[in-house]
């Protein structure tokens, strides 16, 4: 069994349809820690020591968030900036995350075909996620195939529930280390 840490970033959870459903689908899973970063740090003052300790207690990290301007909401970037320190996550002596796994779980407003060279967003999701992939690489972590839900605003309640169950299965697979 792997211990899974989900770091969730949504600045307007009261308006969320999809991430809220995903969150509810995984919160009760054993050996899965769910952290709502905006709830824990409403002023963005992240406790880097506590976050580093939390990382060390888990094998797999999931960054769950809506896609905002082709990236993550601000608090996740802040988390990276203060938690992934030199000497801890990378650089000399920075080997504490080596061998862990990292997965992005992302909802987008744009449909899947917008994220193609001929589409309105021009780049594929894998291309746009290169900074996260490379962050994982620098830290010696394995960047897994991202879990992506496109066209989030067009989804019906039934489709959202289907995606929530798929997400739960994916997190269970990570926890069962498959
Ligand atoms: C500030 C902001 C920026 C956004 N940027 C993007 C974007 O770059 N690409 C995209 O496909 N959707 C974008 N969206 C749409 C959100 O990704 C979408 O509303 C969200 O994934 C829906 O999930 P939710 O129901 O959990 O809020 C943006 C929305 C907001 C509010």
- Quick one: pLDDT at residue 178? 64
By most ligand atoms within 8 Å of CB, the mutation choice from 15, 18, 72, 109 for ligand 1 is 109
Q: Where in the chain are the domains?
A: 4-175
Please enumerate in sequence order all residues whose Cβ is within 8 A of that of 29, keeping only pairs 6 or more positions apart, or say none. 4, 168, 171, 172, 175
39-42 contacts at long range (C-beta below 8 A, 24 or more positions apart): 39/13, 41/75
Proportion of the chain above pLDDT 90, given as a percent? 99
Which residues does a 6 A CB cutoff place in the pocket of ligand 1? 10, 16-19, 66-70, 107-110, 152-153
Average pLDDT over residues 13-18: 98
Place domain 4-175 in its CATH homologous superfamily.
Flavodoxin domain (3.40.50.360)
* Span from the CA of 148 to the centroid of ligand 1 (angstroms): 12
Is 11 a residue whose pLDDT tops 80? yes
pLDDT tens digits along 85-110: 999 999 999 999 999 999 999 999 99
Is 164 a residue whose pLDDT tops 80? yes
pLDDT tens digits along 21-46: 999 999 999 999 999 999 999 999 99
Residue nearest to atom 15 of ligand 1 (CA): 109
* Span from the CA of 140 to the centroid of ligand 1 (angstroms): 30
β-bridge pairing 147-149 and 101-107:
parallel
Average pLDDT over residues 150-167: 98
DSSP structure string for 114-141:
GSSTTSTT-S-HHHHTHHHHHHHHHTT-
> Residue 152, Cβ neighbours under 10 Å: how many?
21
Average pLDDT over residues 74-81: 98
Proportion of the chain above pLDDT 70, given as a percent? 99
Is 77 a residue whose pLDDT tops 90? yes
3-state secondary structure of 159: helix
């Amino acid at each position: 069994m792997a211990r899974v840490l989900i770091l969730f970033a949504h600045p307007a959870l009261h308006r969320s349809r999809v991430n809220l459903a995903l969150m509810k689908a995984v919160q009760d899973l054993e050996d899965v820690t769910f952290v709502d970063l905006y709830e824990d740090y409403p002023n963005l003052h992240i406790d880097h020591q506590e976050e580093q300790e939390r990382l060390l207690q888990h094998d797999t990290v999931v960054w769950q968030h809506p896609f905002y301007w082709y990236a993550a909401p601000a608090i996740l970037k802040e988390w990276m900036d203060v938690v992934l320190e030199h000497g801890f996550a990378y650089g000399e002596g920075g080997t504490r995350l080596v061998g862990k796994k990292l997965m992005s779980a992302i909802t987008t407003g744009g449909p899947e075909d917008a994220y193609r060279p001929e589409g309105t967003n021009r780049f594929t999701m894998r291309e746009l996620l290169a900074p996260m992939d490379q962050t994982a690489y620098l830290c010696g972590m394995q960047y897994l195939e991202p879990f992506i839900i496109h066209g989030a605003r067009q989804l019906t309640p039934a489709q959202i529930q289907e995606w929530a169950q798929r997400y739960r299965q994916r997190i269970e697979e990570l926890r069962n280390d498959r």
